[in-house]
Each structure stands twice: as C-alpha cells, then as structure tokens.
Amino acid sequence: MDEKLTRKLRILADAAKYDASCASSGSKGRKGGKDGLGSTTGAGICHAYTPDGRCVSLLKILLTNYCLFDCAYCINRRSSNVARARFSVEEVVTLTLEFYKRNYIEGLFLSSGIIRSSDHTMELLMRVAKSLRDQGFAGYIHLKSIPEASSWLIEQAGLYADRMSINLELPMAESLKRLAPEKNGGTIASAMGQMQERILEAREERRRFAPAGQSTQVIVGADEADDVTVLGACATLYHRYGLKRVYYSAFSPIPDASALLAAKPPPLQRENRLYQADWLLRYYGFSVGEIAAGGRDGMLELDIDPKLAWALKHRDRFPVDVNSAPRELLLRVPGLGVRAVDKIVETRRHARLRLGDVGRLSPGIKRAMPFLIAADHSPAHLTDRADLRARLTSPRQMSLFG
C-alpha cells in the first residue's frame, strides 16, 4: 500500500471514528460464491478490538472530510482546522476488497462530509456501493445517507447497501438548530420515514433493499437533553420508523474543538446506562415512563443499572418465585437476563429450582437474590431493607451473599 493512500486512510479513519454504529449485524443471504467475494452472516463478526474496548468490524471511513456543514460537535465541520483528504471511489473499493480478502473486516461503513451538494455527495457514496457490488463483493455495506439528498439517490443506494442510517445526532430540535445550523430535524425525520417505506415495500415485494434495516446515532452530552428526553426520542424512532438500532455516543473531546462546545471527558457511564435502558425498552417490556421512575429528575442513576433502580423503587412487586412467576415478572428481576429467564422457564418444568440451580443458569445471581424466592431460598426481610441499595452497590458487601 503506497504512502499517499496510507496517509489518506489515517485522516479519513480518524475523521470517522466518532460514529459509534459499527455493527455489521442483521443481514444475511448474500454469498459471493465461486466468482465473487464474501458473505454476510446473520450476526456480524468483530475482527479486532481497539484499546477503547470497541470492536472493529467494518472499514469505517469517510469518503472525504471536507465538509460544507458547520456542526459544532463534529471534528469535520468546515470551521475546524483538521487535516483534510479525499478518497476516490476506486481507492475505497480497493481498500475494502484488499482488507476483506485478508479477513480484517466484515465490509465497509462509508460516510462522508458534504461536498459541493448533498446530492453530489450521496451519489459518490452510492457509486462506491454499486462499484463494489458490480465486482461481485458480497460483504456487508453500511452507507450513511445524507438526509438532505434527493430521495431517488438514497433509494438507489439502498439497492446496494445492507444497512442505511441517518444520524439524528441531537435529540432536541433546538440544539440541532444551535449546534448544527445546516441540519434540519424535519428533513431527518422525513428521510427516515421514507427509508422505512422503501424497506417495507421491498420486503413486501421480496427483493433486497437495505436488508439489515436502518439505524441512527444520538450524541449524548453535547446538549442539555436529559436521559428521559433522549430515551423518549429513541422510543419514538423505534416505534415510528422501525429502526433496528439506536447508537448512543458519548460526546467525546475532539482535536480542534469548537468554541461553542468545549471539550470535556466523555460521559461514558451515562452512555452505558442509556444502552441498558434501551435494552429494557426493546426486550424487557419496560416503558420510558417506568425507566424514568427508576431515576431522578429525568436522569438515570449512574451507579446502578436502570433495572435495579426500578426494582429498588418498586419493592412491593418482589420477591418473585422463580418456580412459579410468569416470564414477564422474571424479566423484571435485576440480574436475570432474557436468556437466563428462558432457561429458567424451560428447566422448571422438570425440576424445582434451588438457588444453586439458578446460579448455574444466570451469572447475575448475586444481584437477583434479594428479589427471588427459590426452593431453598427466601430473601425474608432482605427485599425491604433500607440499606439494600448500598449492599448491592458496595463491592465489599458482596461477599455477604457468597
């Protein structure tokens, strides 16, 4: 690989790293076969991990980091002084294919700064995807759509991509106006709506159009939106546009930060709690209101997970009997995940479960104990103890249950 291309790669990977949505999941059925290259499996593979603990699954780059927009949170805004570079369509195709052949990546995640016009940019992105497919590439392609681009271009892109995404970035319209003056919440929403229509339509017609669905990213901590606002916005997105995933990205300090938005350490714990709450929304039957009830003043607790927070405030619902409680109730027990609950439900048909049994089915048994009744275990007054929260959060006290 020549030096010039490596230099561009450094700049344009660095410029892309703040986008969290790197997963390559949910697409299947594409196979390159004898003449092509690649395959997409149902669950994507993480081919490496960087020291920030994040997975490297895709070649995540920008086509260019020149940009006409001036979004305060973004390293690539036009007023920033970062080094700029631009790939040609062919260069991106070569990098993707060569990396893929060496088993470094699952595919390509391509985004871009806006150059010349939104349509021009979107057309370039689309051409990369088309060119890859024309060469028999059957790996994963995730394109970031430019919401301001014309609908026909976005639709063309969806023919070649596995996933399309449009970043919401900021959950409140006011902050969007203040921090990203060229963006428009209405445009983003209608682009998402349009994408959803196309995906449903293609499914009805049994043809391929962004088979892995659409996702979005929300930046956490760049504006004043509290957790309940963020979750409320995301619940609406899941509901209205059938999004596959919302990625929460803690606002991270960037080199050459805008004066409008001072650099500060990213709120990683907050991001983590939002992901947990998101899971509760999607898989555990919680509503935004219930999650909010576990927190305080619109924010989730940082030191305990949102499910435990909810349980501590609703102790009248506990303890539940692991041998008889319905699935929905077991799902509400802190420390029991969906898979553990399913195993419990299956196993208890054949045997009465003791605490040791539950311990073998779930790694979170210590947190679950005060909320559970098993054949040989009753938490007695533990469930109602005033210091339960402290007992469950202080690591030294954990041995009590050991």
Partner 1 sequence: MRSVSLSPGADLGGFRAALRRLIAEGVPPEDIVWGSAPALFAAAPVKSAPPIVLPRSAAELIRWDICHRQAERYALLYQLVWRLRHGEDRLLEIASDPLVHRLHRMEKSVRRDVHKMHAFVRFRRIETSEGDHFVAWFEPEHFILEMAAPFFIERFMSMRWSILSPIGALHWDRDHLILGPPARRQDAPESDAFEGGWRSYYESIFNPARLNPTVMRGHMAKRYWRNLPEAAAIADLIRSAPSRVRQMIEQEGPVARKRDPEKAVAAMAQQSPKTLTALNRLITAAPPMVKGGTRAVLGEGPLNPDIAFVGEQPGDQEDLVGKPFVGPAGRILDKAMTEAGIDRSKTYVTNAVKHFKFEQRGKKGFIPSPPPGRSSTTAGGWKRSSTWSNPRWWWRWAPRRHSPWLASRWQ
Residues 278-307 that bind partner 1 (CB under 8 A): none
Interaction between residue 240 and partner 1 (CB under 8 A): no
> Judged by CB, which is closer to partner 1: 98, or 303?
98
**Angle, alpha carbons 108-17-101 (nearest 5°):** 30
Minimum Å gap between C-beta 211 and partner 1 is: 15
> Judged by CB, which is closer to partner 1: 205, or 297?
205
Interaction between residue 186 and partner 1 (CB under 8 A): no
H-helix or E-strand containing 289?
A: helix 288-294
Residue ranges in 110-129 that form contacts with partner 1 under rule CB under 8 A: 114, 116-120
Interaction between residue 375 and partner 1 (CB under 8 A): no
Of residues 126, 122, 181, 173, the one with CA closest to residue 150? 122
Look at residue 293 and give its three-state secondary structure: helix
Among 83, 173, 263, 390, binds partner 1 (CB under 8 A): 263
Task: Report the distance separating Cα 114 and Cα 77, nearest Å.
Answer: 10
Of residues 133, 79, 89, the one with CA closest to residue 261? 79
Interaction between residue 321 and partner 1 (CB under 8 A): no
Interaction between residue 338 and partner 1 (CB under 8 A): no
End-to-end CA distance of the chain: 55
Minimum Å gap between C-beta 274 and partner 1 is: 15
Stretch touching partner 1 by CB under 8 A, among 16-24, 160-168, 212-220, 384-392: 16-24
Among 131, 184, 187, 194, binds partner 1 (CB under 8 A): 194
* The amino acid at 37: L
Interaction between residue 16 and partner 1 (CB under 8 A): yes
Look at residue 316 and give its three-state secondary structure: helix
Residue ranges in 29-48 that form contacts with partner 1 under rule CB under 8 A: 31-39, 41, 45-48
- The first and second tokens of residue 309, run together, are 């927070």
Minimum Å gap between C-beta 59 and partner 1 is: 7
Calculated CA dihedral for residues 224, 168, 163, 38, nearest 10 degrees: -50
Task: Report the distance separating Cα 142 and Cα 212, nearest Å.
Answer: 9
> Judged by CB, which is closer to partner 1: 97, or 233?
97
Interaction between residue 55 and partner 1 (CB under 8 A): yes
Residue ranges in 72-111 that form contacts with partner 1 under rule CB under 8 A: 78-81, 95, 98-99, 101-104
Task: Report the distance separating Cα 398 and Cα 312, nearest Å.
Answer: 17
Stretch touching partner 1 by CB under 8 A, among 144-152, 171-179, 216-224, 229-237: 144-152
Minimum Å gap between C-beta 304 and partner 1 is: 20
Stretch touching partner 1 by CB under 8 A, among 229-237, 307-315, 351-359, 380-388: 351-359
DSSP class per residue in 201-228: HHHHTT--SSTT-EEEEEEESSSS--HH
Task: Report the distance separating Cα 139 and Cα 165, nearest Å.
Answer: 17
Interaction between residue 134 and partner 1 (CB under 8 A): no
Interaction between residue 54 and partner 1 (CB under 8 A): yes
Of residues 198, 182, 240, 180, the one with CA closest to residue 216? 240
The number of angstroms, rounded, from the C-alpha of 274 to the middle of its chain's C-alpha atoms is 10
Stretch touching partner 1 by CB under 8 A, among 163-171, 230-238, 247-255, 311-319: 247-255
Task: Report the distance separating Cα 386 and Cα 299, nearest Å.
Answer: 22
Among 59, 132, 170, 336, binds partner 1 (CB under 8 A): 59
Stretch touching partner 1 by CB under 8 A, among 167-175, 190-198, 297-305, 394-402: 190-198
Among 353, 368, 369, 388, binds partner 1 (CB under 8 A): 353
> Judged by CB, which is closer to partner 1: 151, or 287?
151
Measured from the Cβ of residue 118, the count of other Cβ atoms closer than 10 Å reads: 21
* The amino acid at 354: R
Q: What's the alpha-carbon Rg for the chain, to the nearest Å?
A: 24
Interaction between residue 1 and partner 1 (CB under 8 A): yes
> Judged by CB, which is closer to partner 1: 82, or 382?
82
Interaction between residue 349 and partner 1 (CB under 8 A): yes
Contact 62/112 with Cβ under 8 angstroms? yes
What are the phi and psi torsion angles at 34 (to 5°)?
-75, -25
